Structure 1
Amino acid sequence: MNHPNPRRPVVAIVADRFERQKHATHAVLEGYVHALAQVAKVLPIIVPAHAEGVDAETLISSIDGFLLTGSPSNVAAERYDAPPLPVSTVIDPARDAVSLQLLPLILEAGLPFLGICRGFQELNVAFGGSLERAVHDQPGRLDHREGDHERPVERWYDDRHAIGIIPGGRLAKLSAQATVMVNSLHHQGVDRLGEGLRVEAKAPDGLIEAISVESATQFTLGVQWHPEMRVGDSPLAHAIFTAFGDACRTRQEERLQSHHSN
């Protein structure tokens, strides 16, 4: 008797690298792990932000999806040929080195990809785009930052503004509404859109809020907001992780069939 494959798809998440008790540490925030495990129904594994320790060929042959998370750190400006960010800005060169090396290879291999906040920005940079370092300082822009840090952390993820979803795209297939409220915790944003990327949604001030890879046949999506923190009460957030998980299951079936035939 044939049984459906009980194994969960494997999704790699690149860690942030920071200092904890004077030691370099590699870690991922709980919200992403929870959303992947509980909604996408995949097995999340953490990839260290350690370029010498990551072999792309080995990783790609072993996983079914790839997620780049949000982070307190920003992509280093040198990665998109801009003047260095202010010294007070938190950066993570170790993560930049791993995520920006892996991402083009992951996409070329046909793996499903989901990028959130920093991950959305990394997708743009990987395709030759640039970032605006202080969106809130630009004339006519909304303040997309999270606001008062004295509030409980859950309140940081309250909805801040609407997005308009572009008809006919990947995100439009996941939403019953053309306009959706989202949470927004960023001070950087897309300046120049990377070549080969499709705009999936915009904020009322015109800032790009979601993108996908035009030529990709697999699931690819980058969003500037934080669906991982709202999978329990946002239909769109839940739909994003469900669709990503389904895409990873399809990839898993292809990978296992290929493995068995070899």
Structure 2
Amino acid sequence: MPAAHIRPARRPVVAIITDRVELYHHVAYSAFEGYVRAVASAAGALPLLLPACPEAVDSAALMDAVDGILLTGSPSNVAAERYGAAPLPASTVQDPARDASVLPLLPGLVAAGMPILGICRGLQELNVAYGGTLDRAVHAQPGRLDHREGDHERPIPQWYEDRHAIHVVPGGRLAGITPDGSCLVNSLHHQGIERLGDGLRVEATAPDGLVEALSVEAAPQFTLAVQWHPEMRVGDCALSRRIFATFGEACAQRGRVRAGIAPAMTGK
């Protein structure tokens, strides 16, 4: 076929979950730029912001329209009622609209073959969606590290500097991305996993035993959630780039399936 008739490969489409916020006294939906840039540059995908509006989002439309889902980190916390705990203090930043938009959809999207990458709150959302629980103040527990970001007066890049090592569990999805059994990551969270959700696999742990990465064990497609923030380190961290690149490859494969030029992945 002449080169002029060769159709260029379509970029996969990644829906980036947003937060519901107030902007100029209006309801708005937002995502930090780091996620957009990482999806575009390191994953090689087209980033689309998905509003945290439960009336506007449904799984069938997502399956038809996008090739992957990025569950972003956020200043907000998953409501404790979502995992059967007492309500968080009134001063805690929460996002009920995001909870209502994301949590009911995740198991069905995963079962239908959607690639998922979760970051920070995204890891916690995936855990809660599968029946797990969260510790609302990891730093207050005996023997735990202080995983919070520290002084907010520092320049933003310093928030995302490496803070502690993780142990990568052999044989898992994350181990397939990095050849190193141990690596350094940043840390910007105060909540963490208390009880692991049903059907989830631990992919990495912190030195204090806290779950730092997980996947959906039975899912044949890419499903990975990490407690740290690789989106802010794709410029200087090989592991961060590989996480997004592998996610992008999975999304491209799903795009080929949607286009009818590749077979769907089958379950384990």
TM-score range, shorter chain: over 0.9
Structure 1 stretches lacking a partner, 5+ long: none
User: Is 1:70 equivalent to 2:77 in the alignment?
Assistant: no
For 1:213, which of 204, 212, 216 is the aligned residue? 216
Residue-by-residue CA offset, 1:214-259 (whole Å, 9 max, x unaligned): 0000000000000000011111111000000000111100100179
Which residue in the other structure is 1:36 paired with?
A: 39
Q: CA deviation at 1:58?
A: 1.4
**Aligned partners of 2:6, 2:173: CA distance in 1, in Å?**
31
**Aligned partners of 1:3, 1:143: CA distance in 2, in Å?**
54
User: Is 1:120 equivalent to 2:128 in the alignment?
Assistant: no
**Aligned partners of 1:96, 1:52: CA distance in 2, in Å?**
13
Which residue in the other structure is 2:251 paired with?
A: 248
TM-score by length of 2: 0.94
**Aligned partners of 2:209, 2:103: CA distance in 1, in Å?**
26
Identity fraction in percent? 63
Q: Which amino acid aligns with 1:52?
A: E
Deviating 4+ runs (over 4 angstroms): none
CA RMSD of aligned residues (A): 1.2
**Aligned partners of 2:188, 2:207: CA distance in 1, in Å?**
16
Q: Which amino acid aligns with 1:89?
A: T
TM-score by length of 1: 0.96
For 1:110, which of 95, 108, 113 is the aligned residue? 113
**Aligned partners of 1:236, 1:102: CA distance in 2, in Å?**
28
SS at match of 1:34: helix
**Aligned partners of 1:44, 1:80: CA distance in 2, in Å?**
30
For 1:237, which of 193, 217, 240 is the aligned residue? 240
SS at match of 1:131: strand
Q: Residues 100-179 of structure 1: matches in 2 within 5 Å?
A: 100-179=103-182
**Aligned partners of 2:61, 2:89: CA distance in 1, in Å?**
37
**Aligned partners of 2:145, 2:125: CA distance in 1, in Å?**
22
Q: Which amino acid aligns with 2:171?
A: G
SS at match of 1:171: helix
Classify 1:235/1:258 alpha carbon distance in 2 versus 1 (closer, same or farther; 3 Å): closer
CA contact (8 A) 1:121 1:190 kept: yes
Q: CA deviation at 1:37?
A: 0.1
Residue-by-residue CA offset, 1:158-216 (whole Å, 9 max, x unaligned): 11110000000000011121110000100000000001000000000000000000000
Structure 2 stretches lacking a partner, 5+ long: 263-268
**Aligned partners of 1:188, 1:58: CA distance in 2, in Å?**
32
CA contact (8 A) 2:35 2:231 kept: yes
CA contact (8 A) 1:112 1:218 kept: yes
Q: CA deviation at 1:105?
A: 1.9
CA contact (8 A) 2:58 2:105 kept: no
Residue-pair matches, total: 259
**Aligned partners of 1:127, 1:198: CA distance in 2, in Å?**
11
CA contact (8 A) 1:32 1:228 kept: yes
